[in-house]
Structure 1
């Protein structure tokens, strides 16, 4: 155990608890320590060691340790004393980001102010605030109470002090993504129907519900009826109910006296598929309560099932009818009577229509695949939100190459793909009612990338705190796009993709490592990725560093983390103009944050298409000069040999990963054998080609050197003569029509080849090799050479979707540095028409 974690345990356990667990029948409270981890599931689980667990036979919740360093994620900070995880035990499905008493106006950062204990049949956790933002002399006290048998936890907040009567009565709720914020009866609630969680908030003394005020966090506001006011004291009480849906919440919050029982609805195909794969089971279940004689609908509500076709809700005893429906299936109806004991209702779906696909490579092996489905007429199918897994909007991921996809009858166009090294296969199908069509697909790997592997160094999912995408779905997305190396880089939290790869039994198909995106302010300059880093699961930030408001301090801290271990440090989506010498972007040169460049191994330079824009003659305003590609070329001319990379920065799973990638030189083409250390070395060396799809190969030779230079290398050419071997390969869904050489950042008019002006250099529209030629040039001074290719007027839309696919296919190499005098490459200090601030003082790195 590291020293910081041990200190935290001593503070929390020694000062505030005195023992590891307090139990009364099934209600218990304990400090979370290794060996006593909570059995809480869900997409938004955020507990760490040192937090507190409260649970009984119905609900579980975790409370963030009352320490000043407790952050849940990048956007939920200073969270000590807040409820982070809250869920039913069955089903366990935490989607809450945080409930924060007083909405962060008071800080609970002193573990010596924590008291725990028992009061009758309840266990409690309570804490006095350590300070307040308003500095008005008031203090806040919060107590959480949980009884055995209760389906809620009670929060009691009290404000003390002479100015207490002036304090607004409200708490904060972070329920992100797809939550809506509503009220009914006596209850305020937030609900995410797709991910199947609802949280209710109810005052136990009055029928009036609290109200919502939109914000971050959303404010849960209490009226005078909810609040006890006396001289020098303000107090409110709210009960928090985890539920599966608004209907489930209504039953437990307003009809608990009628002995509701939990019912599980299981939706399955009546006849299981022969291949053992279930159809998509994100079914809708409409539940209707009916009269004692089975006539007359008294109430109805709709439940969303999970990926296994299961939904839950509590029901009061009575007669009901449940109707299940799903894409490509006839509905199923079952009448049943609920009692006081939990029960299960099975709804078999019949007459499924759609397709079954088996996807193999040209060696006959099943491979991960993405199927993008378009309806010939009308709306495209929508299987689920962009944040979900496997069935995402109109696409399907299958990491094992087999998919069972129900579809409503009709005509469809389906694109099967696995990234830009493979041809895509287009199928036109007509789905017939009650029939499952078998589709055999072969995806040929036509692009030869021997010696190079594809990498995306920057992507996100729900643990980052700024999105709600399923992390399992992120890994599906990476695998099905054939990204061969992808570190896990969540915001401000070291994390890992390895557990998902192990769950899929596919660790051999994608190399990965633990990493982080350290995300501070000011934005955008203070975002840095780094990998590999040592991961300490269930500790603050996964064991990673904290941010700093000084970008130079932050990036140095990151570079020196883990005892200055060897790692890659990448500046993300930067404003290089600001970093180099314009801190406040006012157009007046200053020192900038130039010290950051000392610690930078690679820098993101997308969008790639800006390399073809005539920026020097059409400059933007200084305040809007966030053109990383152009400013990177400027830095290269000032002597900074910092390689460029591009990444997706994916936050959603609908085509999120894959449309940008890097190809790294590598000693192996087998993902199972990729070494993270080698990836770091290759990146630091600039052995990188950046691409939205085309595979660009550039190799330089001279008459005075026996070496062949690839991007990132130096090449001695004493006579100034250089030969560049350039090839471009594309699968059948991509094409290029221009190849351009850039000499020291400037486009060469002589070496601008297009399909129109040099048709003999370009392959046919159906050929894999789109360009294959040697370019001879003579240099009279040291220069760096970059090759770029683009499909002008072309898109990748059908395979990569409308959000990203409307961009052109493009690839850009990192520079080859040519030394023409044998004295080592010298930067020329040349400006490209729009100077960097204070650029007259060349810098070396």
Structure 2
């Protein structure tokens, strides 16, 4: 049993110690700090300064610093002593979220318990737990050990204490969304085929693979043959193998511990026109041992190439039948003989089929555009998952206006678009075998939005931790939907879109800034966005604040962050009923979280179509009271002048951003000249129109003065009469058939115009200007005026996709506040027939 004991004679090592040997395969371990940063690629890279890097010539491993405040992201918290990044060095491609020793049943929050050092031909990192969540008096110690030249990291857990022998042996794994949990031979593994990473888990003792148990995290359970118990101790060891694919894992996990040679597969799909084409070189490569090729039951392994047509795998020496398939290409088969030396294997292709397109504006300049491809018969093309970039499901994002799109032979309908200020163009093509159809597409900017810029204030990608979307793909999505201002708002992490825009050389087309969404409990009340915030790369939360269980404390902390700097604080998808005075949502008035309101600069109020619903006469159950737009109008009537906004809260890239947007008043129409400071001022002033696409212009005037009032402004009138000029513009893929005025949150029966009851006010379907009229309103007292327009019975499906496009075209203005008596605008306290809870305090 002595062999189970920890090697307590190993000395502690200085935190900044760099351990390495002179030869090439030597392993090393060090603390990460600005002068020594890991060279790790992949969309799930989570290391920060103060974490640890273990590395040899084969793999890289980062270990989270064992401190109480170490969170990887929104959903991976308290992650001290866990492996956050794990990848081969060549290719470096971290898609893995976390390996969590003991599945978080023990906390590792005491950095004084860390020991690092060299032990013969290996380096190690180990830490003793600071707390057992079971409270059973046991402690856990985890040790990671990396041997010179090995392609795996060895993980050992010791549980000590009187109750240690009763502790179940399992660890936790966070491998999200597109990972599959499998077993093969003596190894368990999780594999993400599209993003080309597999992680293998194998015990050095026993022949059974560990067993998966679904959950978040997934649990990796070890059998009795993997575990040693006795003398007040339970211990288990598992070897973690980063790999490109299951066949790559098989070569190292079932063979020698030393890695066989890496083979590179190239699929040279022909792409004309250089780097600025949106082009996909993705192919699936199938490998089957030649000796097994005549056995129908033999396992056939698949490799997914990256966007450049490259795939990697270590292979057991031998002959393989290699084939590949790619959309728009004829399948190709080759016999390959692998060896114990690295090889590059070039796979032939046919001439592709599909189309190429150049998309320009009315002046002939290439512009970012989205192409949505529909098959006339059968399934639509599927270029890649909704978390991918550039080619996403049946969408292509062409940020430079040029695309090369492979398609299998058949008939297709393609919708080219650039957001709702542009007409879309539809092309129907017949794709023949090995034929590329050339298209020239002109998208005309027909909607006049001078003085206004389009904004998206709330979207997400992989750094948020609750999704796996490529952040580069999010920026492509924003650009191709013609969002002109979009701060970066990942969950609980300050991040930036600027590097992606710089890589694309398109910083002049979209203004951005760093920000975050601070997301805590209770939900949904404790979600707030803020921007700009100072970004501290590779630090906890990117330098942003931590959450707090009290939403009032949390929003104040966020508002006052960075020394109280000027920023916009946005309340996200709120339950205003709960915030205003029903904290536990039981229908009995209480204090609520009303202290939050003074820190809110804007409030999300979607879905917009609820403004046309008769909620007051059909009140929902108090626990179903999350009707933000209706409750927002209630707040306006109580004197809270907090502007409304809409945002997509997009988490995936397939039509994710763009189907909801705000137009902010702006002193410039040039995205390159947009000032974040001005965007904050315009938002705080309520100079905002909210929309799923239609552009709504609302301008109020009166005889009292020459000043025009736009949404958010005050307007004085001596005689109670106000003229409201309403104009609705739509591109050729949108339309509206109703325009209504809302006075103090109530729809005016007098000023509710439809194409049926007032056809003279609506233009025909070919016109860009759908409605252009001056509405004269007679008021007896102060009131706020909101204008809304909708295309009832209409959708935006072909351009915005089946999920989001089923919603109607709709736009809602922020209110104009009308002062009738000359004493300044005063609220009327109207409850709209469905009162907000009144706090008894």
TM-score tier, shorter chain, comes to: over 0.9
Q: CA deviation at 1:334?
A: 2.7
**Which one of 19, 22, 25 corresponds to residue 22 of structure 1?**
19
Misfit runs of 4+, over 6 Å? 294-298
CA deviation string 1:603-656 (max 9, x = no partner):
000000000000000110011111001000000000000000000000000000
Deviation at 1:17?
3.1
What does residue 5 of structure 2 align with?
Answer: none
Secondary structure of 1:475's aligned partner: helix
> SS of the residue aligned with 2:732?
coil
Residues 369 and 481, structure 1, Cα contact 8 Å, conserved in 2: yes
Asked if the contact 1:730–1:769 (Cα under 8 Å) also holds between the matched residues in 2, the reply is: yes
Q: Could you report, residue by residue, the CA deviation over 1:102-152 in whole angstroms, capped at 9, with x for unpaired residues? A: 110111111100000010000000001111111111110010000111110
Q: Is the 8 A contact 1:662 1:689 kept in 2?
A: yes
Alignment partners' CA distance in 2, 1:402 and 1:22: 49
Alpha-carbon shift at residue 827 of structure 1 (Å)? 0.5
Q: Which residue of 2 aligns with 1:149?
A: 149
Aligned partner of 1:54 in structure 2 is: 54
In structure 1, what is the equivalent of residue 663 of structure 2?
663
1:244 equivalenced with 2:244 (yes/no): yes
Provide the secondary structure at the position in 2 that maps to 1:23.
coil
Q: Secondary structure at the match of 1:657?
A: coil
Within a 5 Å distance, the mapping from 1:69-148 to structure 2 comes to 69-148=69-148
Q: Is the 8 A contact 1:15 1:112 kept in 2?
A: no
1:231, CA displacement in angstroms? 2.0
Q: What residue number does 2:7 align with?
A: none
Question: Which residue of 2 is the match for residue 182 of structure 1?
Answer: 182
8 Å contact kept, 1:720–1:778: yes
Q: CA separation in 2, counterparts of 1:834 and 1:535?
A: 43
> Which residue number corresponds to residue 165 of structure 2?
165
Distance 1:756 1:285, change over 3 A: same
Which 5+ residue runs of structure 2 have no aligned equivalent?
Answer: 1-10
Distance verdict in 2 for CA 1:748–1:285, change over 3 Å: same
Following superposition, the deviation at residue 257 of structure 1 comes to: 6.4
Provide the secondary structure at the position in 1 that maps to 2:788: strand
1:43 aligns with 2:40: no
Q: Report the secondary structure of 2:507's partner residue.
A: coil
Deviation, structure 1 residue 256: 2.1
Matches within 5 A, 1:574-589: 574-589=574-589
Greater alpha carbon shift after TM alignment, 176-185 vs 120-129: 176-185
Describe the SS at the equivalent of 1:220.
strand
Whole-Å Cα distance in 2 between the matches of residues 19 and 639 of structure 1?
57
| Partner secondary structure for residue 71 of structure 2 | coil
The question of whether the paired residues in 2 share the 8 Å contact of 1:17 and 1:115 is answered with no
Contact 1:258/1:316 (8 A) holds in 2: no
Q: Which SS does the other structure have where 1:50 is aligned?
A: coil
Aligned partners of 1:268 and 1:278 also within 8 Å = no
Query: Kindly tell me: are residues 794 and 259 of structure 1, through their superposed partners in 2, closer, same or farther at Cα, counting changes over 3 Å?
Result: closer
SS at structure 1 position matched to 2:329: coil
2:445 maps to 445
Inter-partner Cα distance in structure 1 for 2:577 and 2:789: 26
Q: Per-residue CA shift, 1:563-590, capped at 9, x if unaligned?
A: 0000000000000000000001110111
- What secondary structure, in the 3-state scheme, does the structure 2 residue paired with 1:760 have? helix
Kindly state the Cα deviation for residue 282 of structure 1 after the two structures are TM-superposed: 1.3
- Aligned partners of 1:318 and 1:576: how far apart in 2? 66
Pairwise CA distance, 1:167: 1.2
1:221 and 2:221 correspond: yes
Q: Which residue of 1 aligns with 2:768?
A: 768
- 1:31 and 1:52 in contact (8 A); partners too: yes
1:573 is the counterpart of 2:581? no
**Residue number in structure 1 paired with 2:378:** 378
Report the equivalent of 2:8.
none
Q: How far, CA to CA, are the matches of 2:13 and 2:706 in structure 1? A: 70
| Match in the other structure for 1:65 | 65
CA–CA distance in 2 between the matches of 1:257 and 1:204?
A: 11
Q: Distance in 1 between matches of 2:500 and 2:18?
A: 32
Quote the offset at 1:348 in angstroms.
Answer: 2.6
Provide the residue aligned with 2:833 in structure 1: 833
- Normalization by structure 1: what TM-score? 0.96
Give the match's secondary structure for 1:775. Answer: strand
Q: Is the 8 A contact 1:16 1:111 kept in 2?
A: no
Greater mean alpha carbon deviation, residues 230-239 or residues 282-291: 282-291
Correspondence for 1:412: 412
Secondary structure in structure 1 of the residue aligned to 2:634: helix
Deviations for 1:761-812, whole angstroms, at most 9, x for unmatched residues?
Answer: 1111110000000011111100000000000000000000010000000000
**Counterpart residue number, 1:611:** 611
SS in 2 for 1:336: strand
Kindly indicate whether the alpha-carbon contact (under 8 Å) linking 2:513 and 2:532 is maintained by their aligned counterparts in 1. Answer: yes
Relative to structure 1, the CA distance from residue 748 to residue 19 in structure 2 (aligned partners, 3 Å threshold; closer, same or farther) is closer
Q: C-alpha separation between the residues in 1 aligned to 2:151 and 2:15? A: 27
SS at match of 1:408: coil
Secondary structure at 1:22 match in 2: coil
Q: How does 1:508-587 map to 2 (within 5 A)?
A: 508-587=508-587
Contact 2:517–2:530 (CA under 8 A) maintained in structure 1: yes
**In structure 1, what is the Cα distance between the partners aligned to 2:445 and 2:258?**
62
Please say if residues 15 and 111 of structure 1, whose CA atoms lie closer than 8 Å, have aligned partners that are also in contact. no
Q: CA deviation at 1:320?
A: 2.0
Task: State the partner residue of 1:688.
Answer: 688
Task: Describe the SS at the equivalent of 1:40.
Answer: coil
Q: For residues 753 and 718 of structure 1, what CA distance do their matches in structure 2 show?
A: 27
Deviations 1:439-458 (A, max 9, x none): 00000000000000000000
- Give, in whole Å, the separation in 2 of the partners of 1:520 and 1:19: 34
In structure 2, the partner of 1:481 is 481
Q: Where in structure 2 are the equivalents of 1:445-464 lying within 5 Å?
A: 445-464=445-464
Does the aligned pair in 2 maintain the 1:547–1:554 contact within 8 Å?
yes
Cα distance in 2 for residues equivalent to 1:817 and 1:280 = 52
1:299 and 1:618 map into 2 onto residues whose CA distance is 59
| Contact 1:290-1:296 within 8 A present in 2 as well | no
Residues 373-407 of structure 1 deviation map (CA, whole Å, 9 limit, x = unaligned): 00001111000000100100011100000000010
Give the 5 Å matches for 1:427-826. Answer: 427-826=427-826
The TM-score, its normalising length taken from structure 2, stands at: 0.97
- Tell me if the contact between 2:728 and 2:770 (Cα under 8 Å) persists in the aligned partners: yes
User: Is contact 1:16–1:113 with CA below 8 Å preserved after alignment?
Assistant: no
Please give the alpha-carbon distance, in whole angstroms, between the structure 1 residues aligned to 2:127 and 2:515. Answer: 35
Deviates more, 1:699-708 or 1:786-795: 699-708
Q: Is the 8 A contact 1:386 1:469 kept in 2?
A: yes
Is 1:273 aligned to 2:276, yes or no?
Answer: no
Output the CA distance in 1 between the equivalents of 2:840 and 2:438. 67
Relative to structure 1, the CA distance from residue 659 to residue 289 in structure 2 (aligned partners, 3 Å threshold; closer, same or farther) is same
Shift of 1:840: 9.7
- Cα distance per residue 1:344-388 (max 9 Å; x no partner): 101131121000000000011100000000000111100000010
1:299 Cα offset (Å): 5.5
Which has the higher mean CA deviation after the structures are superposed, 714-723 or 329-338?
A: 329-338
**Distance of 1:840 and 1:651 partners within structure 2:** 39
SS in 2 for 1:569: strand
2: CA distance between counterparts of 1:135 and 1:258? 41
**How far apart are 1:288 and its partner, in Å?**
2.3
Between the two proteins, the alignment pairs up a number of residues equal to: 826
- CA, structure 1 residues 808+278, in 2 after alignment: closer, same or farther (shift >3 Å)? closer
Q: Please give the root-mean-square deviation of Cα atoms over the aligned residues, in Å.
A: 1.5
1:272: how far off? Answer: 4.5
Question: How many Å apart are 1:816 and its aligned residue?
Answer: 0.2
SS at match of 2:774: strand
DSSP-derived class of the 2:29 partner:
strand
The answer to whether the 8 A contact 2:591-2:840 is kept is no
SS at match of 2:718: coil
CA change 1:776–1:536 in 2 (3 A) is: same
**1:210 lines up with 2:230 in the alignment:** no
